[in-house]
Amino acid sequence: MNPVAIAIFQMLVIIALAPLLSGIMKKVKAFFQIRKGASIFQPYYDIAKLLKKDSVVSENASWIFHAAPVISFVAILAAGMLIPIYISDMPFGFAGDLIAIVYLLALARFFTALASLDTGSSFGGMGGSREMFVASMVEPAMMLSIFAIALNVGSTNLDVISQTVSSRGFSAFSPYHLLAFVALFIIAIAETGRIPVDNPATHLELTMIHEAMILEYSGKQLALVELGAMMRNLLVFSLLANIFFPWGIASTASVAGIAAALVAFVIKIAVLGAAMAVVETSTAKWRLFRLPDLLSISLMLSFLALVSFIIVKGG
Amino acid sequence: MTGSDLFFGLVVLFLIGAASSVVLNKKDRICSYISFISAAIASLLGIIFSFSVILGNNFVFNVSGTFLNFGFFVDKLSAFFILIISITAFAVSIYSTGYVKEYFGKKNIGYLCFLYNIFILSMVLVVSANNALMFLIVWEMMSIISYFLVVYEHEKPETRKAGFIYIVMTHIGTGFILLSFLILASGSASFSFETFRAGVLTMPPLLRDAAFLFALIGFGTKAGIVPLHIWLPYAHPEAPSNVSALMSGVMIKTAIYMLIRVSFDFLGASVLWWGVLLLIIASASALLGVMYALMEHDIKRLLAFHSVENIGIILIGVSVSMIFMSTGHPELAAFGLIAALYHTMNHAIFKSLLFMGAGSLIFSTHTKNIEEMGGLLKKMPWTGMFFLIGSIAISALPPLNGFVSEWLTFHAQLLSINLSDNITKIIVLSSGAALALTSALAAACFVKAFGISFLALPRSEHARNASEAPGSMLFGMGILSLLCIALGVLSFYFLPVLDSIASPLSGASVLPKVAFDLSLAALSPQAGSISTIWIFLLLFVFVPVPFLLSLALGGRTKARTYETWGCGQPVCTARNEYTATGFSKPIRMWGSGIYRPHREIQTSYAGSPFFKERFTFDTQIEPIFEKYFYEPITRLAFFVSRILKVIQTGSIHIYLLYIFITLVIALIYVGVGG
């Protein structure tokens, strides 16, 4: 297949599958809360509904407020081009490594946080402040686990990582690989704004982070913001899936291989999403100022992954 | 034109700029135009000159006589720093033609223009000096002139205090530099830099350690490493903004230049613990710099603390490179040095840009406190745009230049896996966590700095009446904004040039192992690659996607303008907005062990305790370095002086007695010993 076609298809897959992951997670949460829950396709209907609605824009807002949803959306999409979804040899895999993905997601966050301050609402500022705080706490743990993965595999580029890990088979499950996975799973909780870090279903001012930032958005813009957040979730999950369990991913661009890989991908993110939903239903939300404890657990795990790798393999 | 034409041309032009400002002292407008434009032309010559050296041959100029023995030697490293100085000085000079209008009629413009020209000239001479004595002379010239520039608004007491702290700290630094040079000269019995290299080889290791440590303290003071950084947050905010742009952007880089010169060129970076020590200091500087920046609401003090942070990031690259040098990995050392040099360049550009932006803000709002700004993006769209570009660059977000150099630094740290000692490996890799935390906190800080000052509603009368800065100021900022983008997107083009600067110092080129084509690769394509130009193109190509998506699925919709939702209350004023203090509160709580914040709340009641009449809130953090490091030293100094005061009676007879006693002791010494 043509590399451009693969890239465009990957973009469409990311946009199309993002609401599904959100729907599955909501359904699993409903199951554990002994509710019936909405259909797993509900997020699609929500996005479609919001896209048709007129929006209300604050009179205080500057162009940042209008540009931020677009810039965030575009940055997340660009990060999506660097992550293996169904094929390990992505056409734009060379354009950025794990560090670039982290910083592209940070670019999206930077503009969302700016927009949160733009309307002059104290909710927005509160959300932006908390978001940047949590993001700062996440970063060192994230970088150490990236280092641990990169040293283990010999590259920070995701195409190389997923190829190497899948070629190693079960021998890839070394202690440092698993330590890095747990560390990155905790980071994923924070990155995707899940309980115990943030509650995506809340509108209580004492607890909300991401919802507070986007409180002033409505209509089309809100749809873009929500879709962007769902895409970010999907990308973080596919990072977890295809760094640690890249089985089934297509290594060459054949139609049959890609179709099989897509099925494998949906299963993987559904399992990870269900696992995240279990974590969400089985824990309570933590106080904001206890979060550094949670993230230092992740920092310590990734440090251990790094040290154990150096002691076992290095030297 | 030859190299020497260009070099002396720029020297002469700076001198013309200085001289004309003395002559035209009384005519503010003409004086400022002539001297700043001649500084800009001189800087252009500097850019051409440095390119001619970087892409061509070294420039050597020597004068030797019986008493006088000095010379200039511009190799690729010096030329690189002349390039940084010239680019920044060019943009700042154009900016200054507009900025100094603020001072017309109020202050002596000729004095400012004179010092400005000599200041830039002294920086150029510092990086091209080839003799320790000559270096110390121009170094002192740079320090003293920058002192005069810091105290330009000397009618304010806080400016005089800042100037005092600066001049004391810079002279402590110069003292240590002098010690380091004396040790280096003792090995060669000459003050020429060329003989330093040979002299070091025969020097005992202990002396080499001492030379390195003294140079680290001396140049570290100027660069602003923790805990020697305390002068930066005082001196940089008090200077006029065009001068702070130069001081923060380039003056502190001359110390980086000499640190690289001394530790790589003279001392050969041969000892492992030098690099490890520097790495720890650098990581601490980066982290503490950004943590203190987050607590600042004075826009210029905030930027000054970010200089401490970025000096830390640069020195992380330098120290990792030193670690590679001392363990026999010259090509990896070149890679670390490339990261450090690139960040030096990038920091000079975005920091000068941000200081100029801060200058525009102060020019229009007459306040340095961001809590009194707000809503300025609508009043000052261009300044806002340029400040935003600078903020994105300093927060290391792709695809701008700060991202590229931090990415290179991360990869330099990853390459430490090639070292043989596990403890060193773990230290270097852990510093990656410190760097990651630093850059995330920097992003938080610039969301605060940009968001509070440019977005939402104006928070004061000053901000309500603000207007856009004049064209010349915007032009100066525009040049550097474009460079931030170009150095990020086209980074693959500049890095081979940096390799040609770094490889003579490390002794090996990294080019055979790295592909610097459309993508940057860190040591063989396997280890990781980015392509900022492709990231830029991807971002660009994807822009229509959200629009097409929303149009295809939702059709056309309208947007209505209405007031911000205030929980159903009819209040929507600037007093309801989130403040900078509030924004950094979570980080203040998290870092309370370092900040030691204390707050004071005073409430007065109107009769009943249920009705509050007034409510004042004050929160402060403790300056731990000043309190626990400098205060004891100052107290000790005062104590010793009080004791020594006993011999200072003020009576001439006693002093004559001292001279007589000294003479007798000297005669006895000569009589017995000789």
Q: Tens of pLDDT along B482-530?
A: 999 999 999 888 888 998 999 889 888 887 777 665 455 655 555 788 8
Residue B27: pLDDT band with limits 50, 70, 90:
confident
B383-412: average pLDDT: 94
pLDDT at A93 over 90: no
- CA separation, residue B230 to residues A58, B220, B287, B449, B625 (Å): 42, 12, 15, 21, 8
The partner residue sitting opposite B433, judged by closest CB among A60, A143, A154, is A143
> So what's the pLDDT on residue A49?
94
Strands B529-530 and B612-620: unpaired
> So what's the pLDDT on residue A251?
79
Domain range summary for chain A, segments of one domain joined by + = 3-312
pLDDT at B261 over 60: yes
Which residues of chain A lie closer than 8 angstroms to B455, CB-CB?
A: 62, 64, 114, 117-118, 120
CA B312 to chain centre: 10
Domain range summary for chain B, segments of one domain joined by + = 1-130, 334-556, 579-620, 626-673
pLDDT at A253 over 80: no
Q: How far apart are CA A32 and CA A218, in angstroms?
A: 31
Residue B250: pLDDT band with limits 50, 70, 90:
very high
Residue B68: pLDDT band with limits 50, 70, 90:
low
pLDDT at B386 over 70: yes
> What percent of chain B is modeled with pLDDT above 70?
97
pLDDT at B168 over 70: yes
Comparing CA positions, the residue from B324, B256, B315 lying closest to residue B289 is B315
B154-183: average pLDDT: 93
Using the beta-carbon criterion (under 8 Å), do B578 and A303 form an inter-chain contact? Answer: no
pLDDT at B343 over 80: yes
* Amino acid (1-letter code) at residue B457: L
Contact B580, A119 (CB under 8 A): no
Residue A300 contacts B where some CB pair is shorter than 8 Å = no
Q: What is the pLDDT of residues B83-127, one digit of tens each?
A: 999 999 999 999 999 999 888 888 888 899 999 999 999 999 999
Closest Cα of chain B to A199: distance in Å? 18
Average pLDDT of chain A to the nearest whole number: 91
Average pLDDT of chain B to the nearest whole number: 90
> So what's the pLDDT on residue B554?
86
B194-203: average pLDDT: 84
Which of B408, B447, B545, B560 is the best residue to mutate to test the A interface, defined by the most A CB atoms within 10 Å of its own CB?
Answer: B447
- Residue in A closest to B560 by C-alpha: A56
> So what's the pLDDT on residue B201?
82
H or E segment at B427?
Answer: helix B422-454
Which residues of chain B lie closer than 8 angstroms to A151, CB-CB?
A: 414, 417
> So what's the pLDDT on residue B409?
94
Using the beta-carbon criterion (under 8 Å), do A157 and B529 form an inter-chain contact? Answer: yes
> So what's the pLDDT on residue A160?
86
Comparing A266-270, B191-195, B277-281, B461-465, which segment has the lowest mean pLDDT?
B191-195
Q: What is the pLDDT of residues B580-631, one digit of tens each?
A: 999 999 999 999 989 998 888 888 888 888 888 888 888 888 888 888 999 9
pLDDT at B673 over 80: no
Strands B559-562 and A55-58: parallel
Strands B598-605 and B612-620: antiparallel
> What percent of chain B is modeled with pLDDT above 90?
63
> So what's the pLDDT on residue B517?
57
Q: Residue B166 is encoded by which pair of tokens? A: 């600066």
The partner residue sitting opposite A142, judged by closest CB among B422, B436, B583, is B436
Residues B374, B377, B380, B383: what is their CA dihedral angle, to the nearest 10 degrees? 100
Contact B313, B474 (CB under 8 A): no
pLDDT at B72 over 90: no
The partner residue sitting opposite B535, judged by closest CB among A100, A125, A160, is A100
* Amino acid (1-letter code) at residue A190: A
A33-46: average pLDDT: 93
pLDDT at B45 over 90: yes
Using the beta-carbon criterion (under 8 Å), do A94 and B529 form an inter-chain contact? Answer: yes
> So what's the pLDDT on residue B35?
92
Using the beta-carbon criterion (under 8 Å), do B451 and A155 form an inter-chain contact? Answer: no
Which residues of chain A lie closer than 8 angstroms to B555, CB-CB?
A: 52
A250-265: average pLDDT: 87
Better pLDDT: A234 or B133 = A234
Give me Rg for the CA atoms of chain A. 19
Q: State the complex-level ipTM.
A: 0.96
pLDDT at B428 over 60: yes
